[in-house]
Structure 1
Amino acid sequence: MSPIICPKCGGANTSPATRPLLYCVDCQSEFGGDHRDLMATTRQIVLTTNQKGTASQNLTFTRTPTGATIEGPFLCYYPDLPEIYIDPQQWQQLLADFFKLYVLDWRSDYQNDVKNSDTAFSWELKISFDHQQPFCSRGQDLYPPYWEALMTLFTKLGLPNIGKALGQNFLQLQTQTVS
């Protein structure tokens, strides 16, 4: 069994013996826990990515009485495609998989150590809940340890990978339609 990676520092020196909370020896922080209550109160998840000098793109997941809607950059790529609807079971599975990525334990800010005012790529994740403050995490040219797993979760739903450099998805589609 591979070690559980700390969502704050990326270290693998973690202790699962303290479940449901886990402990990272490297950064001396606790993470994890039971997120079932939060799954019931999650109202919206918004992931936005930005590339300097171009427009931003985002994916928005919003709970509805009949499950959830997903809106995103596919609307500008495929203007005839309406928002995507998922049923309550799909929404709950999405949330279960989402919270397994320890997103609520991500640091609030991920900054590249290089002091460069010319940041090429930035991102922001915002999770809204019923009756409590939203959770926000953001970064510039630096990503949490579970970033790729988050992109994989979203692309398994058929959504574009907005974790790539902004515009890359659009340029690939432009090339396909021009050819």
Structure 2
Amino acid sequence: MSPIFCPKCGGINTSPATLPLLFCRDCQAKFGHDYHELVADTRQIIFNTYQKAIASQNLTFTKTAAGATIEGPFLCYYPDLPEIYIDQLQWQQLLEDFYQLYVLNWKSNYQSANTSENSDTAFGWDLKIIIENQEPLISKGQGLYPPYWTALMDLFTRIGLPNISKPLGQNFLQLQTQIQAQ
């Protein structure tokens, strides 16, 4: 069985407290929730990756009567990609997998010690979860990523979306170089 990482500090010194909660012995954080109600109440997930002043990409997942739509644009990969439609079962599975990444427990701000918030060179991201009758949950970062970042990118690519992970930061630089050369 693979270790469960703490979504706050990334430590693997975790143990069950009162299920479905877990406890991190390193940072003393409790995490994990019964997310099943959230699956029914989640209205929208907005995810952006960017390099300031150069380029950005976004994914917007919106609940519909038939399931959900996923919209881009996916600028560096598929600039003309239309909306993607998924049915209710696919939407439910996507949300279950999404919430199993402890996104509700991610820190509000992941900031690399080597990167200032005003830096134009750092690759950044933000995640906004809109749940019915709740304030939006927002997490963001620049130059630093939550422990479940790779698993989130894997989830997106598993449903056929482009990989908009950290390596895209290098693609932004290549894209900018190509634009300047033209």
Query: Are the equivalent residues in 2 in contact too, given 1:57–1:166 (CA < 8 A)?
Result: no
Describe how 1:82-121 pairs up with structure 2 within 5 A.
Answer: 82-114=82-114, 116=116, 118=119, 119-121=121-123
Query: Are the equivalent residues in 1 in contact too, given 2:73–2:79 (CA < 8 A)?
Result: no
Query: Are the equivalent residues in 1 in contact too, given 2:21–2:30 (CA < 8 A)?
Result: yes
1:123 aligned partner: 125
Instruction: Describe the SS at the equivalent of 1:98.
Output: helix
Q: Tell me by how many angstroms 1:157 deviates.
A: 1.0
Query: Are the equivalent residues in 1 in contact too, given 2:115–2:143 (CA < 8 A)?
Result: no
Instruction: Describe the SS at the equivalent of 2:168.
Output: coil
Count of residues in Structure 1 that have an aligned counterpart in Structure 2: 173
Once the two structures are overlaid, the 10-residue window that deviates more, 129-138 or 79-88, is 79-88
Describe how 1:17-36 pairs up with structure 2 within 5 A.
Answer: 17-36=17-36
Unaligned runs of 5+ residues in structure 2 are none
Q: Tell me by how many angstroms 1:52 deviates.
A: 2.7
Q: Is 1:70 equivalent to 2:73 in the alignment?
A: no
Q: Tell me by how many angstroms 1:82 deviates.
A: 2.1
- Superposed CA deviations along residues 55-79 of structure 1, whole A, max 9, x for unmatched, are 2110110000110000113377545
Query: Are the equivalent residues in 2 in contact too, given 1:21–1:31 (CA < 8 A)?
Result: yes
- Superposed CA deviations along residues 17-71 of structure 1, whole A, max 9, x for unmatched, are 5311000000001000200111110000011011133121101100001100001
Question: So what's the TM-score if we normalise by structure 1?
Answer: 0.88
Q: Tell me by how many angstroms 1:162 deviates.
A: 1.1
Taking only the aligned residue pairs, the percentage that are identical comes to: 64
Query: Are the equivalent residues in 2 in contact too, given 1:49–1:122 (CA < 8 A)?
Result: yes
Aligned residue type for 1:161: N
RMSD in angstroms over aligned alpha carbons?
A: 2.3
Query: Are the equivalent residues in 2 in contact too, given 1:8–1:144 (CA < 8 A)?
Result: yes
2:151 aligned partner: 149
Aligned residue type for 2:14: T
Measured in 2, the distance between the counterparts of 1:23 and 1:90 equals 30
1:59 aligned partner: 59
Q: Is 1:12 equivalent to 2:12 in the alignment?
A: yes
Once the two structures are overlaid, the 10-residue window that deviates more, 78-87 or 1-10, is 78-87
Unaligned runs of 5+ residues in structure 1 are none
1:45 aligned partner: 45
Distance 1:64 1:165, change over 3 A: same
